[in-house]
Structure formats: C-alpha cells, structure tokens
C-alpha cells in the first residue's frame, strides 16, 4: 500500500463534501507531474486529504483509492473550466482516480504543526514553493502522521 497526499481548496471541494458524497472522481488535475502520481496509484492506497487556501491549511482527513486509471471527463467538456482542446479522445491526456471517504480528523494537523514535526525531505508538502496538488508520502512518515492524528 502506498500513501499519498491530495490537496483541495475547501471552498471548491472539502472533506465535508467527500464525507457527504462518500466517493468522488478526483478530476481537474492539469499538471503532468501530479498526473504521473495519479497514474502510479493502486486500488487500496491511502491518501491524506489536505485543505489548501484554508484557515488554517492542513491535513483534515484520510481517503482510500477505490478506482484507478479513470479518464477525467472534464478534459472533453468545452464548457468546463478544465477543458483541454488538445486532448484526443482516442488518447486522453488526463487520467485520475476515484477516492472514497475513510475518516475525518478533528483536529487535523495544520501546516504549522507539520512544519514543526517533519522536515521538507520527509514531507514534500512542507517544502517552500511546492505547488503540486498530488504528492507521495513515504510510508514511515505516513504511519507517524496517522499515530499523531489518532491521538496515540
């Protein structure tokens, strides 16, 4: 099992929204490095749900990858914000995954706390200037975070 971190702005799609929906297609990623991480995901992987552009930003939940290699339909929708006219339906450029709600953390771990407890080498999301919305989390670090989040 691999561990990941997925960023979302809560004003766009929050952990509360996912709790309500139970599952969602993680669409709208338009960065090749992030897409490559999405392609590397396998069913059963876990991902931390991170609220960006939030007050405060931080980890607020855990999700499971329940479907992989899903074509992102928004790339073919001209009315959509994430329409990509250069993507060929015979060879879609953007694939993604389906994620399912596992748990919400209250409290979670704020970015400030993450910076205090983890180095930029251990945890990419605390690295200055990192704008990738999909990131891998090394397993030992993921397990440490889960222990902290669950109050052990």
Partner DNA sequence: GCCAACGTTGGC
User: Is 57 an interacting residue with respect to DNA (CB under 7 A)?
Assistant: yes
- Say if strands 3-8 and 46-51 run parallel, antiparallel, or are unpaired: parallel
Nearer to DNA, 39 or 44 (CB): 39
Does 124 bind DNA (CB under 7 A)? Our answer is no
Tell me phi and psi for residue 125, to 5 degrees.
-70, -20
Closest CA to 136 of 31, 48, 77: 48
**129 touches DNA by CB under 7 A:** yes
Task: Locate 55 and state its tokens.
Answer: 């007050």
Q: How many CA atoms lie within 13 A of 62 on its CB side?
A: 20
Q: Are 27 and 82 in contact (CB under 8 A)?
A: yes
Q: Which residue number, 22 or 128, has a Cβ lying nearer to DNA?
A: 128
User: Which residue lies nearer to DNA by CB, 1 or 33?
Assistant: 33
Instruction: List the interface residues with DNA, window 8-37 (CB under 7 A).
Output: 9, 30-33
Nearer to DNA, 74 or 133 (CB): 133
- For DNA, the binding residues (CB under 7 A) are 7, 9, 30-33, 52-54, 57, 111-112, 128-133
């Amino acid at each position: 099992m691999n561990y990941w971190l997925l960023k979302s702005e809560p004003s766009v799609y929050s952990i509360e929204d996912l709790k309500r929906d139970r599952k969602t297609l993680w669409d709208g990623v338009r960065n090749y490095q992030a897409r490559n991480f999405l392609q590397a995901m396998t069913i059963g992987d876990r991902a931390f749900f991170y609220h960006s552009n939030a007050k405060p930003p931080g980890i607020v939940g855990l999700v499971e990858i329940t479907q992989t290699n899903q074509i992102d339909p928004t790339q073919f929708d001209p009315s959509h914000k994430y329409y990509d006219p250069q993507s060929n339906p015979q060879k879609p450029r953007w694939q993604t995954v389906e994620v399912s709600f596992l748990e919400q953390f209250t409290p979670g771990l704020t970015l400030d706390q993450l910076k205090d407890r983890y180095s930029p080498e251990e945890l990419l999301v605390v690295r200055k200037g990192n704008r990738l919305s999909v990131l891998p989390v090394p397993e030992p670090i993921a397990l440490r975070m889960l222990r902290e989040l669950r109050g052990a």
